[in-house]
Amino acid sequence: MLADIEQIGRNPRTGGYRRDAWSPADMQLREWFTHQAVTRGLTSHEDRNGNLWAWWGDPAADGPGLVTGSHLDSVREGGAFDGPLGVASAFQAIDLLRGDGFRPDRPIAVACFTDEEGARFGVPCIGSRLLTGVLDPSRARGLADDEGLCLDEVLRGQGRDPGGLGRDDETLAHIGVFVELHVEQGRALQAPVGVASAIWPHGRWRFDFRGTADHAGTTALEDRDDPMLAYARAVLAARLQAETHGVRATFGKVRVEPGNANAIPSLVTAWLDARGPETAAVRRLVEELSHGVEVTEESWTPEVVFDDVLRLRVACAAGFDGHPAPILPTAAGHDAGILASAGVPTAMLFVRNPTGVSHAPGEFAEPADCVSGVVALAAVLADLTGGGA
């Protein structure tokens, strides 16, 4: 299934993917999702926030179901597994259960949440944040991409109604439990499959360093008001303070205005991603970096501790040879975290990543481990939907 979509949004020069939400690549992936649903006789639809659903059974008639799945968008120059592995494994797990003649005692769905990475509009997990009401729809409609296009215009351009964005109680009521399978994004997992304990608190902040544009040659050093220097100091300070506070801090995106090689910039806008095991330490780092500069918090996701009863049950079902799957925390954010914070019982399965590389073209999982992931996910679905073969 991953081979079906391996050319979509791929940069042939680097092997990296660019699958921005609502881009032509994303639209092709959405069609692929719907095609996968239809060929399996699943009932597919898009909710009013742009998330895709493929139901085996009818949650409106038979009550809330077990939802699995992930996302299909990518970071820029991302890997092939982050997101699509969870969606493909969800369909494969359903195939496996059906092949065994399994009949679930409640509906099961595959979900694809829209714009999980936030690569285009800056806010991650837009689809699940809108669904659960933690992202204000009018703020979402006004989010602009790098070309200055607002989500509102982008949705209209794709024939969607931006007026429909916002908390969706009807869709939420159909999610009894959510189990997301995802490629592991570090090297912590030694077994083929693991289970998440918690997601670190994390956020994104925009820093605007303002200065005065002037000639790179004729302006004497003492006459300069160069915002690039403040930015450079902030990058180095972020690294030092991350070490001090035991957190992770990254300036991964920067925009320079006007962007002439022979001129002092007037504005440097940079985005800080900070996360760590403790909220207070992350907050302290951002606070310390904020002196004398304009800082806007673009997103904040509190720590998510997954339901411990569900986690143990999932670990037992996903285990091999009588051993429960190992349990580990993650430093990456996920739609599962957003749903868990909204009160949905949620669990995550991770598939081993031998190098730990993620959000880059080198992201990889061995085919045998991906198969173990499908087998584990099918076992979890079977356990939680309690039917019999």
**Which two tokens mark 334?**
């996920």
Closer Cβ to Zn ion, 188 or 263, answer by number: 188
N-to-C CA span, the chain: 26
CB of 128 to Zn ion, least distance (A): 12
Closest by CA position to 127, among listed 77, 72, 208: 72
The b-or-e profile of 43-67 (16+ CB within 10 A means b, else e) is ebeebbbbbbbbbbbebeeeebbbb
Instruction: In angstroms, give the least distance from the CB of 157 to Zn ion.
Output: 25
Which residue number is nearest to Zn ion in terms of Cβ?
Answer: 82
State in angstroms the smallest separation of the CB of 132 from Zn ion.
Answer: 17
Q: CB 284 → Zn ion: shortest distance, Å? A: 27
- Closer residue to Zn ion (CB): 47 or 115: 115
Whole-angstrom Cα distance, residue 106 to residue 326? 28
Q: How far is the CB of 161 from Zn ion (least distance, A)?
A: 27
> CB 116 → Zn ion: shortest distance, Å?
6
Nearer Cβ to Zn ion (281/344): 344
Assess contact for 284 and 320: CB atoms under 8 A. Answer: no
SS3 26: helix
Of 183 and 382, the one with the shorter C-beta distance to Zn ion is 183
Which residues make Cβ contacts (< 8 Å) with residue 330, sequence separation at least 6? 184, 185, 186, 196, 198, 199, 200, 348, 350
Closer of 160 and 334 to Zn ion (Cβ): 334
Structure tokens given for 123: 């806010």
Pick between residue 83 and residue 211 the one whose CB is nearest to Zn ion.
83
Closest to Zn ion by CB, 82 vs 184, is: 82
Q: How far is the CB of 62 from Zn ion (least distance, A)?
A: 30
Helix axes 367-384, 308-318, angle to 10 degrees: 120
Query: Under a CB-based contact definition with an 8 Å cutoff, are residues 253 and 206 in contact?
Result: no
The residue (of 269 and 353) whose beta carbon lies closer to Zn ion is: 353
Q: How far is CA 27 from CA 23, 32, 48, 122, 287, in A?
A: 6, 9, 16, 19, 39
Q: Exposed, middle or buried: residue 134 (CB in 10 Å: 0-12, 13-18, 19+)?
A: middle
Indicate left, alpha or beta for 91 from its phi (over 0: left) and psi (-120 to 50: alpha).
Answer: alpha
* Closest CB 55 distance from Zn ion, rounded Å: 22
* Three-class SS state of 41: coil
Instruction: Name the minimum Å distance from CB 71 to Zn ion.
Output: 6
Residue numbers at the binding site for Zn ion (CB under 5 A): 82-83
Name which of 83 and 276 has its Cβ closer to Zn ion. Answer: 83
CA distances, 206 to each of 72, 125, 274, 342, 367 (Å): 26, 17, 11, 26, 39
